Amino acid sequence: MAGCARGSARAVLAFLLAPALVALLVAPARGRGGRGHGDWGAAELLPPRENAALVARFVTNVCDWGALATISTQEGVRGRPFADVLSLSDGPPAKGSGVPYFYLSPMQQSVGNLKENPYATLTMSLAETSFCRKYGFDPQSPLCAHIILSGTVIKVSEAEMDVARNSLFIRHPEMKTWPSSHNWFFAKLNITNIWVLDYFGGPKIVTPEEYYNATFQ
Amino acid sequence: MAGCARGSARAVLAFLLAPALVALLVAPARGRGGRGHGDWGAAELLPPRENAALVARFVTNVCDWGALATISTQEGVRGRPFADVLSLSDGPPAKGSGVPYFYLSPMQQSVGNLKENPYATLTMSLAETSFCRKYGFDPQSPLCAHIILSGTVIKVSEAEMDVARNSLFIRHPEMKTWPSSHNWFFAKLNITNIWVLDYFGGPKIVTPEEYYNATFQ
């Protein structure tokens, strides 16, 4: 089952999505959790599914948290795969750089793991937003697009500090209040491998070059 | 910062949550994605945070997907941690067994990994529901409760097949339509370690015994 329908299917899609977008725009944004916490509030549409690099950039930008896999250093589970939830941001909604930034503390289990082994895989899914529920896509259906980014988690350099801080604090204003006793630092995922599951036919491989070169219209 | 306030704080919490629950109950359930896809529709309240075992059971039951960490067998990333999104269910809303069941295919990357190394860690977060957004909790805040379950992923035995099937198909009706050519099979996480992050003070350790003995009132 390769590729996706185009042309008339896109017209049908636009027709179907129009009322959804109107409903989204009029629905009040509740909660005090900051911007972009899974709200489909912006007029963003999923890019054409065949443009896997752009879909990957879209998912990274729309999601503001993900699950990170690391190798465990904890007693009893040493060497085994470990998973944890981390907030993240690649920038403001619709203006993401594609770089997933994190705000980490040495007190976190994942950070203890990364200290010994910086390899990690981050996964993010549109199931984190209202998209999948709205269109009736099961979280494990490829239509409920999700991406997998492998690489290493590294501290952000001095030069990149401001970008990281701005990207994160815009989407996660609560971070500004987190206690300094936790020794928070900015980190990012240095991406080496990308898989995109957004349609039937199996995961699509996207290179970091394709990923960073993708631009939203 | 140990423990949680009780008594009068609980009364305040009930007062604060009441209008939220009313709002949730009157909001129409949209989408065709099946029951429990992140909707906070049921009258469930987060159990008292100090009852970590019950909080863990709650999160497992309310969530219908999670991220699974495995050790990668894929070319170029062999031996490194891998993360993927999987649908899951421990039973109907408010009637969960605590056992996370999966519906897997040998075609999935994670399943290829598990074939060589069955160790895995599953993480689930209330960020998957409207809970955290509603109360303004950042996804990385412990108040946006999340849990980490380590163990091994194994095929479900004949005796457990019906329970697995019912648990999954109730929450994920779309699964009934997935193509048999994918050789779907029922699996579960055999839990050995549990960490609960639901309050300040670091992760709470819950034993599988405590977890399975916890009962909803």
Domain boundaries, chain B: 52-213
Torsion B105-B108-B112-B117 (CA) sign:
negative
Contacts of A109 by beta carbon, 8 Å cutoff, 6+ apart: A72, A74, A82, A84, B148, B195, B203
Sequence-separated (6 or more) residues with CB below 8 Å from residue A164: A101, A156, A186, A187, A188
Cβ separation of B83 and A174 shorter than 8 Å? no
Mean pLDDT of A70-98: 96
Is A126 a residue whose pLDDT tops 60?
yes
pLDDT digits (tens, 9 = 90+) for A167-187: 999 999 999 999 999 999 999
Q: Do B140 and A202 touch (CB under 8 A)?
A: no
Q: Which residues of B touch A76 (CB under 8 A)?
A: 193
Residue B60 contacts A where some CB pair is shorter than 8 Å? no
Return the closest-CA partner of residue B96 out of B44, B50, B24, B132: B44
Q: To the nearest whole angstrom, how far is the Cα of B1 from the nearest Cα of chain A? A: 12
Say which DSSP state B177 is in.
Answer: G
**Any chain B CB within 8 A of the CB of A32?**
yes
CA distance B171 to chain A (A): 9
d(CA A68, CA A65): 10
Return d(Cα A140, Cα A213) in angstroms, integer. Answer: 28
Q: What is the pLDDT along chain B (217 residues), one digit of tens a residue?
A: 344 444 555 555 545 554 444 444 433 333 333 334 444 443 357 999 999 999 999 999 999 999 999 999 999 999 999 999 999 999 999 999 999 999 999 999 999 999 999 999 999 999 999 999 999 999 999 999 999 999 999 999 999 999 999 999 999 999 999 999 999 999 999 999 999 999 999 999 999 999 999 987 6
Amino acid at A124: M
DSSP state at residue A175: G
Are A156 and A199 a contacting pair, CB within 8 Å? Answer: no
Task: Say how far apart CA A116 and CA A140 lie, in whole Å.
Answer: 32
pLDDT in the model for residue B123: 99
The pair of three-digit structure tokens given for residue A196, joined into one six-digit string: 């995109």
Q: Which residue has the higher pLDDT, A24 or B207?
A: B207
Q: Which residues of A40-76 are buried (b: 16+ CB within 10 A; e: fewer)?
A: bbbebebbebebbbbbbbbbbbbbbbbbbbbbbbeee
Tell whether B107 is within 8 A of chain A (Cβ).
yes
Which B residues 116-175 touch A at CB under 8 Å? 119-123, 125, 127-128, 132-141, 146, 148, 150, 172, 174-175
Q: What does the pLDDT average to over A147-154?
A: 98
How far apart (Å, rounded) are the C-alpha atoms in residues B204 and A11? 51
Tell me the two tokens of residue A91.
Answer: 């920038």
Query: How far apart (Å, rounded) are the C-alpha atoms in residues B170 and B165?
Result: 8
d(CA A34, CA B137): 9
Comparison of pLDDT for B8 and A152, the residue scoring more: A152
Write b or e for each residue in B169-206: b if 16 or more Cβ atoms lie within 10 A of its Cβ, otherwise e.
Answer: ebbbebbeeeeeeeebebbbbebebbbbbbbeeebbeb
Q: Is the pLDDT of residue A18 over 90?
A: no
Burial (CB < 10 A; 0-12, 13-18, 19+), residue B118, is middle
Q: What amino acid occupies position B177?
A: T
CATH topology assigned to domain A52-213 = Pnp Oxidase; Chain A (2.30.110)
Partner-chain residue, chosen from A82, A119, A140, that has the shortest CB–CB distance to B121: A82
Q: Is residue B157 within 8 Å of B186, Cβ to Cβ?
A: no
Residues 2-21 of A with CB under 8 A from B: none
Task: Tell which residue, A106, A125, A86, has the closest CA to residue A185.
Answer: A106
Tokens of B170: 């109730």
- Find, among B32, B29, B174, the residue nearest to A16 by Cα: B32
C-beta atoms of A81 and B119 within 8 A = yes
What Å distances lie between residue B188 and A50, B122, B160, CA to CA?
A: 33, 11, 10
pLDDT, mean of residues A72-77:
94
| Rounded CA separation B134/A33 (Å) | 7
What are A25-40's pLDDT values in tens digits?
A: 433 333 333 334 444 4
